[in-house]
């Protein structure tokens, strides 16, 4: 394989990626002087031999795959020729001008020594961004057996270390620090690079094909098996965030935001979190009235209380690995998970059979980006439902009831009784067969 021609890899050593022109004069005569690893961004260090510009340029990895930017090294001038949005270039530009020399603890775990490696940088400032990039690890582990996959991983995600990687570099950087310029991280990586004969960067695509991802290789927990949808006792997990709420109507949403701006954020949180809990309980009761055997869990960063015997209240104000796994076990036994759009839905949908997502109007452009879609056929349409941001509890309940009751019929008509193969068939008769 010609590794430098593989579009899913970005070469670093012995050849450095430079498939671009000078951002100032347009010349293709570019000198490569190495690669910098300050955190969320991976930057090539370059000089234009035509006009003399010294500049740093994003390697096309992670969220810079389509929108790399360049920064003049002497004056910090931004070159944004690809039209990157401000959330991508703003923090990097600020970090470049305000570099941090603070020490950063990094733990190196060598699991399978290799001289030819692919580095996957998952550092980022948003939970979902880290997880989405981390999902890429499986592709590189499975498809590049002659290379060792090295994962650069924030400490809070260490429990998701993918099985089969060669090394893991666990970095003690909090999410809020993910976009900063960490001299210590770059120093650590530079010291490692000399040990390898060949180094490539994984693209770290923001939206990998979820149907190909085996979440058990990350969590150690087997996801819900679709062939057991109707034979297992029905269970639904509600994901109850406090920072992105399910509002009853537009007025409630407006009042919550207005109170926050007026310095009454604590009061607003108390009022509208309570309102969200009431809507979740109403949804649960409506579902249980139609499907009496259905049980429920509720997860989220919040104090416990208010659900009594209606649901297994797994909420907490202090997250750790044990609680992460407890939540994952709840998702894995759930036919459905229900929650507001956001990165909080990535792991639940990777483990549950399906979901009902409450989708705010300003997130319509991001639909499905937070869903780990497990199914590649028409089961997608049945098992992934989206309702408006002011959906009533009755609407959520109707979707859940219909999905629980109609699964067998839909599956039989759309999957079993067709000319295609049944990818979920185990050889054992299903209900009604």
Q: How many structural domains compose the chain?
A: 3
Regarding whether 307 and 409 lie in a shared domain, the answer is yes
Please indicate, yes or no, if residue 426 is contained in any of the structural domains: no
| Residue ending a domain, choose from 156, 186, 206 | 206
User: 361 and 249 in one domain?
Assistant: yes
Instruction: For residues 134 and 70, state if they share a domain.
Output: no
Chain CA centroid to CA 15, Å: 31
Asked if residue 174 and residue 139 are part of one domain, the reply reads yes
- For residue 397, tell me if it sits in a domain: yes
Predicted pLDDT at 3: 44
Based on the fold, state whether residues 185 and 168 are members of the same structural domain.
yes
Shared-domain flag, residues 268 and 412: yes
CATH, residue 254: 3.40.50
Specify the pLDDT at position 432. 41
The per-residue pLDDT for 414 is 85
Give just the sign of the alpha carbon dihedral 381, 387, 209, 228: negative
80, 198: one domain: no
Q: Which of 153, 180, 206 is the last residue of a domain?
A: 206
Q: Is residue 433 part of a domain?
A: no
Q: What pLDDT score does 433 carry?
A: 42
Residue 385 near residue 358 (C-beta atoms within 8 A): no
For residue 2, the model assigns a pLDDT of 43
Residue 233: is it exposed, middle or buried by C-beta count within 10 angstroms (0-12/13-18/19+)? exposed
Distance CA 128, CA 142 (A): 23
Residue 179 CA to its chain's centroid (Å): 16
Say which DSSP state 316 is in. B
Residues β-bridged to residue 106:
171
Q: Are 110 and 166 in contact (CB under 8 A)?
A: yes
Contact 296, 310 (CB under 8 A): yes
pLDDT of residue 426: 62
Residue 257 and residue 369 in one domain = yes
393 within a domain of the structure (yes/no): yes
Last residue within a domain, chosen from 79, 97, 115: 97
Contact 310, 280 (CB under 8 A): no
Do 354 and 324 lie in a common domain? yes
Tens place of pLDDT per residue across the chain (433 aa): 344 579 999 999 999 999 999 999 999 999 999 999 999 999 999 999 999 999 999 999 999 999 999 999 999 999 998 888 898 889 889 899 989 999 999 999 999 999 999 999 999 999 999 999 999 999 999 999 999 999 999 999 999 999 999 999 999 999 988 889 999 999 999 999 999 999 999 999 998 899 999 999 999 999 999 999 999 999 999 999 888 899 999 999 999 889 888 898 788 788 889 999 999 999 999 999 999 999 999 999 989 999 999 999 999 999 999 999 999 999 999 999 999 999 999 999 999 999 999 999 999 999 999 999 999 888 999 999 999 999 999 999 999 999 999 999 999 888 888 887 777 766 554 444 4
Kindly state whether residues 279 and 400 are assigned to the same domain.
yes
How far, in Å, CA of 347 to CA of 201, rounded?
25
Residue 254, in any domain of the structure: yes
93 and 136 inside one domain: no
Question: Residue 421 domain-assigned?
Answer: no
Does 211 fall in a domain?
no
Residue 423 lies in a domain: no
pLDDT at res. 272: 87
Contact between 301 and 273 under an 8 Å Cβ cutoff? The reply is no
| CB neighbours of residue 361 within 10 Å | 10
Range of the domain at 394: 217-416
Same domain, 194 and 55: no
pLDDT, residue 266, reads 84
């Amino acid at each position: 394989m010609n590794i430098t021609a593989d579009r899913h890899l970005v070469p670093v050593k012995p050849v450095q990626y430079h498939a671009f022109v000078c951002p100032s004069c347009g010349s293709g005569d570019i000198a490569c002087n190495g690669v910098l690893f300050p955190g969320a961004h991976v930057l090539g260090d370059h000089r234009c031999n035509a006009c003399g510009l010294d500049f740093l340029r994003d390697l096309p990895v992670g969220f810079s795959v389509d929108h790399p930017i360049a920064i003049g090294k002497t004056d910090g001038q931004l070159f944004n020729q690809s039209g990157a949005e401000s959330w991508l270039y703003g923090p990097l530009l600020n970090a470049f001008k305000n570099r941090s020399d603070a020490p950063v603890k990094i733990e190196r775990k060598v699991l399978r020594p290799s001289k030819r490696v692919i580095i996957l940088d998952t550092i980022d400032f948003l939970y979902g961004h880290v997880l989405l990039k981390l999902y890429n690890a499986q592709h590189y582990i499975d498809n590049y057996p002659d290379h060792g996959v090295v994962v650069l991983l924030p400490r809070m995600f260490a429990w998701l270390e993918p099985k089969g990687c060669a090394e893991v570099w666990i970095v003690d950087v909090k999410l809020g620090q993910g976009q900063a310029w960490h001299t210590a991280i770059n120093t650590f990586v530079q010291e490692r690079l000399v040990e390898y004969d060949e180094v490539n960067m994984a693209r770290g695509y923001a939206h990998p094909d979820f149907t190909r991802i085996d979440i058990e290789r990350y969590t150690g927990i087997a996801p819900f098996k679709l062939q057991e949808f109707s034979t297992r006792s029905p269970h639904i997990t509600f994901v109850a965030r406090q920072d992105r709420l399910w509002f009853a109507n537009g007025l409630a949403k407006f009042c919550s935001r207005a109170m926050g701006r007026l310095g009454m954020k604590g009061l607003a949180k108390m009022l509208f979190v309570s309102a969200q809990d009431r809507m979740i309980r109403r949804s649960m009761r409506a579902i249980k009235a139609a499907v009496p055997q259905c049980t429920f869990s509720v997860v989220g960063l919040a104090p416990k209380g208010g659900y009594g015997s209606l649901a297994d209240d797994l909420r907490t104000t202090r997250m750790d690995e044990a609680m992460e796994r407890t939540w994952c076990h709840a998702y894995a036994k759930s036919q459905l998970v229900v929650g507001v759009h956001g990165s909080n839905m990535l792991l639940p949908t990777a483990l549950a059979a399906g979901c009902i997502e409450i989708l705010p109007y300003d997130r319509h452009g991001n639909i499905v980006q937070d869903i780990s879609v497990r199914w590649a056929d028409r089961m997608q349409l049945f098992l992934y439902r989206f309702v408006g941001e002011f959906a009533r509890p009755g609407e959520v309940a109707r979707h859940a009831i219909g999905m629980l009751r109609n699964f067998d019929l839909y599956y039989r008509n759309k999957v079993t009784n067709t000319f295609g193969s049944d990818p979920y068939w185990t050889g054992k008769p299903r209900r009604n067969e």
